[in-house]
Structure 1
């Protein structure tokens, strides 16, 4: 049985690398050994899994179905390894995480919910504030921050979690009752609803997705807030246009309560980072927490998908 499972792993690697030699390099064995493993599978199951030619390999119908089973087997093995590691690591004590109220409620808690339930001996404290927190003074283990660029630091390490675009949004009712917007210059005739914790919130630098044309615009505002949830509510009630991170408005854009303004123009992107103190050895609870955050944000689209993008 173990020999067959090993051969299944070799077969999956051959398919992923599209060659016997590529799989051999990846697995650290000879090409002939790889070929023998696949041949033994075919003989045992009495089917042809691969069409072989001098130019390329291609899957037979049986090979395609079997490849999916191999992928499931390898994924199950990987989940088992992760679970064993979780059981082996004794995660106890306190873990202090700093983030913004919006990120904390919308993403950080969902990202860590299953992980926190699996480690009942760990006390987790969330410090939710829009102001940057001193990690040393406040004894913060992980700070999750949105940055346009990461400043070099002698005592902090930055781990990128996601690239996040900014978008302009408004309600359909607002757009139907106000002057049309076809270019960035048209925004001067509209009201901005700024999230005022953002620096220079009234200044906009646009780049046209196709042509690369750059335009800078200043917008006026009458209303403002320091909270993304309030900005979205003001937008949905037809009070103006807001610049909000794509992560924070995916749901509203999908259900149509908010509409993207000037989708063919892009604003500078941000990077969501996890900041930790530089240490020779990080506690295991920090490593495991970062793993959970990386897994969540790697599956979450933070950037707009342009037609021109690959």
Structure 2
């Protein structure tokens, strides 16, 4: 039975990685061992789970149904591990977390959803504003922030979660009805929709991905906001160009409601991190929460978000 469960996990990894070699790298075993595990499942059940070709793998109808069962099995196993950790570590009491509304709703809640469900002894409070004194006074346990530099407060510990690109985006309708943009200087003929929560919010600084040429612009703007959701909505409705985090527009770029402007020119990269009060021994509930966040952000799909190298 354990061998079959292990093979199901290998099969699910093959599907998620879309290749035997990708699954092998993820699992730390050889490609031939991965192939053998999948073949043993097919032989045992007398079905074909995958169509194999030199270009790609695709699921059969039976394989698709079986993949869902494998996902349910792996989710059940993960819930079991979480429950064991809860019983072992006695995760109870209050846990207070801060994040921006955008990062909180789109990522922190999904990252912690199963973990919250498993730890019924925890009482969680989510805040959308953060000031350093809240951590120092222990009014907050974890503050998730995104910035261009590390926090240098000696009383705080910073856990790096991810590096995140900024991207310049506009709606297809806006780009079709305005002057073309082929180089950074062309942006001076357009309106920026800035988020005014930082200094010099109207300035753009680019570096070309190939030539490394650096260009800085002071953009004009007619509309501004202090909220990412508003900026993105204005952008989607054709009112200008916005500089947003890739985390906040990844789905919009994939479905075509927004288009990246000047993708060959890179904006400064931001750091997503979790701040906690520096202690000789961190509370177990805080450490377990940080572990869940690191696991989520380290596995986010998409080339513009990646786990910080350890």
Give the conservation status (yes or no) of the 8 Å contact 2:171–2:259. yes
More off after superposition, 122-131 vs 285-294 = 122-131
Q: 1:132 to 1:155 in 2, by over 3 A?
A: closer
Specify the SS of the correspondent of 1:221.
Answer: coil
Give the conservation status (yes or no) of the 8 Å contact 2:174–2:239. yes
Deviation track 1:249-277 (CA, whole Å, cap 9, x = no partner) reads 01111111111100111111011000001
Compute the TM-score of the two structures, normalised by the length of structure 1. Answer: 0.74
Specify the SS of the correspondent of 1:249.
Answer: helix
Distance in 2, Cα, partners of 1:60 & 1:144:
38
1:203 aligns with 2:203: yes
In structure 2, the residue matched to 1:166 is 166
Matches within 5 A, 1:133-282: 134-137=134-137, 139-282=139-282
Matches within 5 A, 1:3-42: 16=28
Considering only aligned residues, what root-mean-square deviation do their CA atoms show, in Å? Answer: 3.2
More off after superposition, 199-208 vs 179-188 = 199-208
Q: 1:117 to 1:58 in 2, by over 3 A?
A: closer
Give the conservation status (yes or no) of the 8 Å contact 1:164–1:302. no
Distance in 2, Cα, partners of 1:249 & 1:148:
19
Q: 1:263 to 1:131 in 2, by over 3 A?
A: farther
Q: What is the number of residues matched between the two proteins?
A: 258
Give the conservation status (yes or no) of the 8 Å contact 1:98–1:133. no
In structure 1, the residue matched to 2:120 is 120
Specify the SS of the correspondent of 1:169.
Answer: strand
Distance in 1, Cα, partners of 2:35 & 2:154:
56
Matches within 5 A, 1:288-303: 288-301=288-301
Distance in 2, Cα, partners of 1:179 & 1:131:
42
Give the conservation status (yes or no) of the 8 Å contact 2:96–2:141. yes
Unaligned runs of 5+ in 1: 19-56, 306-310
Unaligned runs of 5+ in 2: 8-23, 43-69, 306-310
**1:66, distance to aligned residue in structure 2 (A):** 5.9
Greater CA radius of gyration, 1 or 2?
Answer: 1
Distance in 2, Cα, partners of 1:77 & 1:219:
51
Distance in 2, Cα, partners of 1:121 & 1:165:
37
Give the conservation status (yes or no) of the 8 Å contact 1:165–1:303. no
Q: 1:182 to 1:67 in 2, by over 3 A?
A: farther
